[in-house]
């Protein structure tokens, strides 16, 4: 009898402690506030035609806790599945694709555990939005990926022949065909690699100025995936955006300085410490440039200030 009660206590503790630790991983734990970025802010001279448009392709029905530590397990959040079209006279770029036409079929290739907790709505794939807006597909110069996860590349097959720009590190990651990546399902995608020849930029150790005018500058931000990047876009109005991909899922990651929970970091990031370093760089930059528009791919609020493609004069 005594043995039986000892066993029940041991069993209860064995269940309770890991569960408590797991839940603790969701509790608020803000990162220390870094010093504001003190380096130079390079001038940008984007041509007058430079413009950016949001391309919201759907949403993932999540809760705040999935996005950042301290987020409620009960607060529903619609995570945007999105790209952005950057118009530039030297060639337009699509930053990520969001959901593509075949998302339902592609989705079945994701791990069952992930599928069991993932509920999404497809609104309209990027290629169809471009078409509906009367956009000339010839104007699309390339697709520039923040990284190669499923929800950022799903639409690649909808743009046959359009080159896909990736870092060598992300290209190698794509070749390894991770379970959260759809690229293994695609054939005939033309990946083109680029490097960071441009030196430090806004606190990041390297940069790639796409057209040499400061309008679109890519910087390395490895951690979430080995070749993740942040894309800075400067508009003629002086407005600057940082498309940060999945460095954070929600803006609260920056404003509250909260990482993803331990469990989500473990599942989603290849190098969580590297990702934290890049989060801190973005936070330090935002301290220096309060008007900088931080755009996490999955924060629908961040896209609210960016005109939708349907409002674009695309021809």
Which of 226, 243, 238 is CA-nearest to residue 169?
A: 226
246 touching Zn ion, by CB under 5 A: yes
In the complex with Zn ion, the residue whose CB is nearer, 149 or 208, is 149
Q: Nearest 10 degrees: CA dihedral of 283, 242, 82, 249?
A: -10
Considering only residues 150 to 169 of the shown chain, the ones binding Zn ion according to CB under 5 A are 151
Min CB(152)–Zn ion separation in Å: 6
In the complex with Zn ion, the residue whose CB is nearer, 141 or 152, is 152
Q: Please tell me what DSSP assigns to residue 81.
A: E
> CA–CA separation, 78 vs 299, rounded Å?
8
Q: How far is CA 28 from CA 14, 49, 229, 254, in A?
A: 24, 43, 26, 13
Q: Which stretch binds Zn ion (CB under 5 A): 108-116, 212-220, 246-254, 288-296?
A: 246-254
Interface mask (CB under 5 A) for Zn ion, residues 18-37, using x and -?
A: --------------------
Q: Which residues lie below 8 Å from residue 194, measured CB to CB, with a gap of 6+?
A: 165, 166, 167, 208, 218
Structure tokens at 63: 């809760």
In the complex with Zn ion, the residue whose CB is nearer, 191 or 249, is 249
In which element (H, E) is residue 232 found?
A: strand 229-234
In which element (H, E) is residue 15 found?
A: helix 2-24
265 touching Zn ion, by CB under 5 A: no
> CA–CA separation, 83 vs 193, rounded Å?
20
Min CB(19)–Zn ion separation in Å: 27
In the complex with Zn ion, the residue whose CB is nearer, 50 or 146, is 146
Q: Which stretch binds Zn ion (CB under 5 A): 41-49, 62-70, 239-247, 284-292?
A: 239-247
Interface mask (CB under 5 A) for Zn ion, residues 70-109, using x and -?
A: ----------------------------------------
In the complex with Zn ion, the residue whose CB is nearer, 98 or 214, is 98
In the complex with Zn ion, the residue whose CB is nearer, 125 or 214, is 125
Asked if residue 206 lies in contact with residue 200, where contact means CB atoms within 8 angstroms, the answer is yes
149 touching Zn ion, by CB under 5 A: yes
Min CB(181)–Zn ion separation in Å: 10
Catalog residues that contact Zn ion under the rule CB under 5 A: 149, 151, 246
């Amino acid at each position: 009898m005594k043995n039986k009660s000892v066993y029940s206590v041991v069993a209860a503790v064995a269940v309770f402690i890991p569960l408590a630790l797991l839940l603790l991983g969701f509790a608020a734990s803000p990162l220390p506030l870094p010093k504001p970025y003190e380096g130079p802010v390079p001038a940008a001279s984007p041509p007058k035609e430079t413009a950016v448009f949001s391309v919201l392709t759907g949403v993932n029905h999540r809760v705040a806790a999935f996005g950042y530590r301290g987020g409620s397990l009960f607060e529903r959040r619609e995570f945007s599945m999105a790209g952005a079209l950057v118009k530039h006279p030297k060639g337009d770029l699509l930053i990520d694709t969001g959901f593509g036409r075949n998302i339902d079929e592609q989705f079945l290739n994701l791990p069952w555990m992930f599928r069991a907790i993932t509920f999404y709505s497809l609104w309209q794939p990027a290629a169809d939005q471009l078409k509906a807006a009367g956009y000339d597909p010839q104007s699309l110069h390339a697709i520039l990926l923040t990284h190669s996860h499923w929800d950022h590349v799903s639409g690649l097959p909808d743009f046959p022949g359009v080159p896909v720009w990736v870092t060598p590190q992300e290209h190698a990651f794509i070749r390894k065909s991770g379970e959260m990546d759809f690229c293994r399902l695609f054939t005939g995608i033309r990946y083109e690699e680029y490097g960071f020849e441009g030196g430090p930029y806004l606190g990041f150790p390297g940069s790639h100025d796409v057209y040499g005018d400061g309008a679109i500058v890519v910087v390395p931000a490895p951690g979430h995936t080995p070749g993740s990047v942040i894309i800075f876009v400067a508009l003629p109005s002086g407005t600057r955006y940082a498309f940060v991909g999945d460095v954070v899922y929600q803006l609260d990651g920056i404003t509250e300085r909260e990482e993803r929970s331990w469990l989500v970091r473990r599942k989603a990031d290849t190098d969580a410490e590297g990702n934290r370093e890049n989060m801190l760089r973005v936070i330090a930059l935002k301290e220096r440039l309060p008007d900088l528009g931080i755009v996490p791919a999955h924060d629908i609020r961040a896209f609210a200030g960016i005109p939708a493609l349907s409002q674009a004069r695309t021809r």
